[in-house]
Amino acid sequence: AQSVTQLGSHVSVSEGALVLLRCNYSSSVPPYLFWYVQYPNQGLQLLLKYTSAATLVKGINGFEAEFKKSETSFHLTKPSAHMSDAAEYFCAVNYPGGATNKLIFGTGTLLAVQP
């Protein structure tokens, strides 16, 4: 079954520190992968997406993610955390062109940024 696993439901970093949010997918076919951010009481905003082009994907707000097929991973990173990065982050996957093109989400990682 296709699924997404986000390791760590809560991550806390200091302002200026590296942000690393982990995402692993389970699939036998190459997926498209996404990272979304959700601020309190708001919808989902797309940070970045991987669609089988370059494996290192740069997104908005200084975030980037690297697709590693051998590790079935798509971890999200940012070199220096800012207070405004505090939010919930969701990794998602879909399989365009197949019978299923819905987005399958992980359970989310709540990022706290300490001053």
The site for another protein (CB under 8 A) is made up of 34, 36, 41-46, 49, 90, 92, 96-97, 100-108
Report phi then psi at 62, rounded to 5: 80, 5
Q: Are 48 and 55 within 8 A, CB to CB?
A: no
- Shortest distance, CB of residue 38 to another protein, whole angstroms? 9
Indicate the residue among 42 and 61 with the shorter CB distance to another protein. 42
**Alpha-carbon distance 61 to 47, whole Å?**
8
Indicate the residue among 104 and 113 with the shorter CB distance to another protein. 104
Q: Are 29 and 94 within 8 A, CB to CB?
A: no
Indicate the residue among 7 and 18 with the shorter CB distance to another protein. 7
